[in-house]
Amino acid sequence: MSEADDSVNLDDWGAAMAEQAAHDAAEQSASTQDTSQKADIFQDFSAKASPTGIHNDIEFILDIPVLLTVELGRTKISIKNLLQLAQGSVVELAGMAGEPMDILINGYLIAQGEVVVVNDKFGIRVTDIISPADRIRKLNK
C-alpha cells in the first residue's frame, strides 16, 4: 500500500467514526426524551419513593434456596457399560486422588474445596473461590 492509500483509508475511517458518533448522539437524545415521557407511566421503585418501605438491598435474596453440589469427578461411559454395572462395580472418574473437588451452585462452578469429616459427617472446606475467567475456562473441560 502506498502512503496515499493509507491516508485515504484513514480519512474514510475518520469520516465513518464521526458519522457513528453523530448517530449515537442523536439516538441518545431521542432515548432521553423517551425516558422522560415513560417516567410518568412507570412507578418509581427506588427506596426514597417506595410507600411500602421496601428496601433495595441484599435482604431480598437472602432466603432464596439454591442447590449446592460437591463433585468428586466425572466420566463418560457408554450405555452398554452402564447396563453392566452391578453392586461392587468401580467406575473410574476423571478427577485425580487428592485433587480439589468442584463446588457447584445450581450447576455452575463457583469454588473448589477438600473433604473434611466432622462428627461422622462429610463436609467440604472451601479452599479456592473461582474467578470469572477461570469459570469460563472450566466450562470447556
What amino acid occupies position 135? Answer: R
Indicate the class that CATH gives domain 65-139. Answer: mainly beta
Task: List the domain boundaries for the chain.
Answer: 3-49, 65-139
pTM of the shown model: 0.49
DSSP notation for 58-78: GGGTTT----EEEE-------
Q: Which of 26-40, 63-77, 94-108, 119-133 has the lowest mean pLDDT?
A: 26-40
pLDDT at 12 over 80: no
pLDDT, tens digit (0-9, with 9 covering 90-100), for 47-81: 554 455 555 677 778 889 999 999 888 889 999 99
